Amino acid sequence: MRKLVLLAIVGLAAQLVDGSLGMAYGVTSTTLLLATGAAPAAASATVHLAEIGTTLVSGASHWKFGNVDWKVVARIAVPGAIGSFAGATFLSSLSTDSAAPIMSGILLALGVYILIRFTAWGTPRGRLGKPVRKRFLAPLGVFAGFVDSTGGGGWGPVATPALLASGRMEPRKVIGSVDTSEFVVAVAASIGFLIGLGGEGIPVGGVIALLLGGLIAAPIAAWLVRHIPSRILGSLVGGLIVLTNVRTILNSDFLNASFAVRTASYIVIALVWTGAVAWSLRAYRAERAEVKAAEAEPVAA
């Protein structure tokens, strides 16, 4: 029972982050499931089954708050579903011993990307209002969907930064569109896992716990996306993902690192993580000061 309550809290926290950043529900949840000893394919399947409900509610909430570009959703969701089904089939065919370090490696790469992306650049703006091209969205959807299934998460970490970097959409619409399209991706991935695993090893209680936590958080996150400092949150989440997956890799049979190596690695990561959060906080305050100064100039004139 304690484990189910913990999973519900994880689902709630992960959905708050995902709904606010447009990423990290699957990455965060899968990372923590792997840390509890879950098999990689079963962990990813658990998260994606829960995401069917959370992404549906999240998409509806984002739509209600006007955060969705339906043209983008239509052009990225179907390619994403194809990629996620292929990824789920691929992961289901691997043994647990082979899949664990592969998944942790993917999650680690995504965590590093999130940490660097939000710490160094925040959320870019520019060229707003220009249409996002289909020839860009289709390959992005296939790649993001494949990474999402094989890594237990990755739809948001791949799709959201790519759309933000284009500078053609408002950050809130990027986040809302990515979260809404993820429903189709989650359904396709779940079908792939159910075919590949036959339901074996997928904890129903874990799915329900993650789902309940995510359902509670989804509408709150859709509202928070207009107010929360995404730069700081991105640095916090990225560091957590990096630390947890480095631990998994160092403890794996492939490396079996010594206690000294593990301790030194954790200390270095903690120092870098603390510095990244401090940098993001400073940058956020500087951005806020610039905005206030710009708003005060017309009044002074």
Residue 202 contacts residue 49 (beta carbons within 8 Å): yes
Mean pLDDT estimate for the chain: 76
- The one-letter code for the residue type at 127 is R
Distance CA 109, CA 123 (A): 19
Instruction: Indicate the pTM of the whole model.
Output: 0.65
Give the number of other CB atoms < 10 A from CB of residue 101: 18
Sequence-separated (6 or more) residues with CB below 8 Å from residue 171: 123, 125, 164, 230
Q: What percent of the chain has pLDDT over 70?
A: 70
Given a cut of 70, whether residue 64 has pLDDT beyond it is: yes
Rg over CA atoms, the chain: 19
Residue 102 contacts residue 259 (beta carbons within 8 Å): no
CA dist 41 to 57, 140, 245, Å?
25, 23, 16
Buried b (16+ CB within 10 A) or exposed e, 8-28: bebbbbbbbbbbbbbbbbbbb
Distance CA 183, CA 55 (A): 5
Q: Of 298, 297, 231, 243, give the one whose Cα is nearest residue 268.
A: 243
Distance CA 225, CA 240 (A): 20
Q: What is the pLDDT of residues 152-186, one digit of tens each?
A: 677 877 787 677 666 667 767 887 888 888 889 88
Of 73 and 218, more confident: 73
- Taking residues 200-213, report their average pLDDT: 71
Distance CA 206, CA 44 (A): 12
pLDDT for the residue numbered 145:
87
Distance CA 222, CA 61 (A): 6
Residue 28 contacts residue 237 (beta carbons within 8 Å): yes
Given a cut of 60, whether residue 66 has pLDDT beyond it is: yes
